[in-house]
């Protein structure tokens, strides 16, 4: 396989690249990443000398760059992670989400169509795997699950941009016979997770004794998936998935946001240096003004990928959250490099006002 991974320096992408480079599979991998705020070369620094691996700094919206990589490396697999993915940022500035998630996906599809199908060529064993999210389905009530046939009902600029890209990918399969696959996953967590997201935000704030902002009353429910399990699922779909199909990937771990925050606090009280006065970290929890259009519950039915391809998650939430906390404790230099002035400016603009509006009520934002 000659694989192009887009966004391979981001959270999920870097974990996927690491999975491949640590496997015994025969492949050539090119990582195309623009290195925006969430793309970090440090995520793969220890693997950069692998002869099977090449990094290219570039934009997925740049057709010339994409065409050149596909031609030079004889790419026959594309795994498309690159995306703007934080709901709060999409509310504050939706234009970049449309550009990256919609126009970027369109550019990749056109490049693949030209290279693989141009001049009447047969796509053969080539594959274009588009990594998407369960947020395209909207919000669930107290019961029910998202399946691959659930109607799309996006509620934020982020989820709308991902829904748009999903539809484009599907259309290229039906219109041009481009060999595509789509995966829609639940909330990921694990090593190298950018600290604007719930779990790393809570870990890092709680270690420093800072307030832990939780949207609304913390009752919103998410299905949590350890990132290594997600990457195994993506590789399974890439190798054995049926062209034109969509596969939902979930962790079978529904948790209320407040429950997640409290779990992180309790584990840190066990394994990290105590706070001043031995105060429990739960005392840092503050409820803040809710996000506009905040979806109440996501839950994935992963029966299709389990029954058709034999994938199931291996890591329970209890095990995965401890692994994640251990990684952040063991890698303080990674976090320190991320938590720079630009991130602090973002954090202040996003949460300081909400904390003030709620008057500092006790018990973070979540996707």
Indicate if 134 belongs to the active site. Answer: yes
Q: What is the DSSP letter of 6?
A: E
d(CA 285, CA 307): 41
d(CA 340, CA 104): 28
Residue 188: name the closest of 12, 365, 5, 10 by CA.
12
Dump the DSSP string for 215-262: ETTS--EEEEEEHHHHHHHHHHHHHHPPTT-EEEE--S-EEEHHHHHH
Active-site pick, 84, 88, 135, 229: 135
C-alpha pair distances (Å), 36 with each of 43, 71, 307:
13, 25, 38
Indicate if 158 belongs to the active site. Answer: yes
Active-site pick, 53, 137, 145, 158: 158
Active-site pick, 33, 134, 229, 262: 134
> Tokens at residue 209, please?
């004794």
Query: Phi, psi (5° rounding) for residue 172?
Result: -70, -25
Indicate if 53 belongs to the active site. Answer: no
Residues annotated as catalytic are 134-135, 158
């Amino acid at each position: 396989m000659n694989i192009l991974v887009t966004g391979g320096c981001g959270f999920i992408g870097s974990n996927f690249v690491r999975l491949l480079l640590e496997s015994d599979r025969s492949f050539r991998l090119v990582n195309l990443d623009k290195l925006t705020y969430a793309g970090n070369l440090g995520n793969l620094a220890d693997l950069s000398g692998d002869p099977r691996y090449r990094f290219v700094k570039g934009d997925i919206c740049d057709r010339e760059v994409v065409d050149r990589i596909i031609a030079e490396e004889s790419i026959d697999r594309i795994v498309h992670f690159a995306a703007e993915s934080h709901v709060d940022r999409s509310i504050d500035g939706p234009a970049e989400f449309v550009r990256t998630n919609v126009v970027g996906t369109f550019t990749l599809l056109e490049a693949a169509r030209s290279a693989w199908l141009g001049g009447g060529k047969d796509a053969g064993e080539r594959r274009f795997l588009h990594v998407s999210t369960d947020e395209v389905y909207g919000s669930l009530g107290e019961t029910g699950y998202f399946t691959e046939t659930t109607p799309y009902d996006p509620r934020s600029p982020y989820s709308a941009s991902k829904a748009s890209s999903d539809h484009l990918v599907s259309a290229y399969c039906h219109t041009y016979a481009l060999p595509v696959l789509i995966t829609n996953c639940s909330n990921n967590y694990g090593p190298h997770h950018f600290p604007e997201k719930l779990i790393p935000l809570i870990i890092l704030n709680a270690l420093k004794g800072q307030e832990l902002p939780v949207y609304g009353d913390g009752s919103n429910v998410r299905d949590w998936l350890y990132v290594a399990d997600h990457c195994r699922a993506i590789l399974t779909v890439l190798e054995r998935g049926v062209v034109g199909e969509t596969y939902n990937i979930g962790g079978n771990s529904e948790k209320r946001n407040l429950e997640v925050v409290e779990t992180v606090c309790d584990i840190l009280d066990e394994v990290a240096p105590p706070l001043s006065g031995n105060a429990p970290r739960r005392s840092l929890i503050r409820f803040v003004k809710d996000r506009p259009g905040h979806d109440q519950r996501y839950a994935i039915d992963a029966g299709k990928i389990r029954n058709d391809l034999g994938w199931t998650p291996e890591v329970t939430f209890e095990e995965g959250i401890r692994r994640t906390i251990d990684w952040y404790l063991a890698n303080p230099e990674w976090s320190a490099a991320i938590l720079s002035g630009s991130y602090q400016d973002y954090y202040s603009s996003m949460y300081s006002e909400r904390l003030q509006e709620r008057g500092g009520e006790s018990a973070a934002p979540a996707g």
